[in-house]
Amino acid sequence: LRSSSLSLPRASSLQGGVRLSGFRASRRSRATTTRAGLDADSMNSLMALLMGDKSALVTKEKALPGRASKMEVPEKHFVTGNTMEQPFPSNLEHCVFGSGCFWGSEKAAWRMPGVWSSSVGYAGGFTPNPTYEEVCSGQTGHTEVYQVVWDPEIVGFADILRIFWQSHDPTQGMRQGNDSGTQYRSALFPATPEQHKLVLASKEAYQGALSKAGFGAITTEIGEPGATEYYFAEGYHQQYLAKPGSRPYCSAQPTGVAMPEYAGGECKLPEKYFEKYGAAAGVHDRLPERASPDGRAQVTTYFIIMNE
């Protein structure tokens, strides 16, 4: 598992030290299991028995117990200098989002004009005050999330929702790109009934656009207003990509489908902002297919730090 060192590889798709997710892992599995005399289905069943099924949510009864003590986080946001913990100034709004690996997702949020603060954490599960390692085990029920705090006079909730929907593939279920497990599921946890209403409207609009483009049903988990508790992640995860020595990684796979117009979805930021920072502009990029040492093709999805 990843330690607090900023230069170490992300351990988000590891369980018991074995990376199972993604195109490359499946190709390797087929090669090794054939030599071992096991077919892919048999090996998948064996691995599920040994390591648990990370595609299924743990039940409340089987979830890890957690702890009463809260995670300690820095007093100030590394980029904005504002506080990350409530109470926030009364003129601000906040909401919690999940779109896979939270490193790159948080960066997409904090650089938006009008965003006062942001943070990363865990939500949607059962274990109180979980650790990163516990969340990665799949035994807490939580998904990686980020909280955004913004000034509605400068940036609208519709702007943030547009970035959210367009910056990942919300149809992938219990994974996002090469990051596999319930802790990478897409999620939205609105704070107010007004936010909840706009979330549902935006989902319906984006589903229509995705369906026309050949994608399946949106699997994003949507919580009831103010009903989901947000637990902060460790301090070394906060604003990770802004810190010296950070490793620019994210496995998000945006669809390239634009958010269409819908009632209440008018954005406050100019279209040029979305042209610069939208997924199609290169915030996320898929590296070209390349050959592995054994001659088979590999496709790697990588978060590219562009358009600074």
Catalytic residues: 101
The per-residue DSSP string of 243-260 comes to STT-----------PPPP
First to last CA, the chain: 30
The torsion angles phi and psi of 232, rounded to 5 degrees, stand at: -65, 145
Measured CA to CA in angstroms, residue 248 lies from 102, 107, 306 at distances of: 12, 11, 11
Q: CB within 8 A of 87, min separation 6: which ones? A: none
Strand partners, 150: 93, 115
Q: Alpha-carbon distance 289 to 54, whole Å?
A: 27
CA proximity to 286, closest of 302, 308, 264, 266 = 302
Helix (H) or strand (E) holding 15: strand 14-15
Integer Cα distance of 102 and 148 in angstroms: 12
**In degrees rounded to 5, what are phi and psi of residue 149?**
-120, 125
Contact by Cβ (8 Å): 78, 243: yes
CA geometry: angle 12, 14, 20, nearest 5 deg:
115
State how far the Cα of 118 lies from the Cα of 114, in Å rounded to an integer: 11
Contact at 8 Å (CB) between 51 and 14?
Answer: no
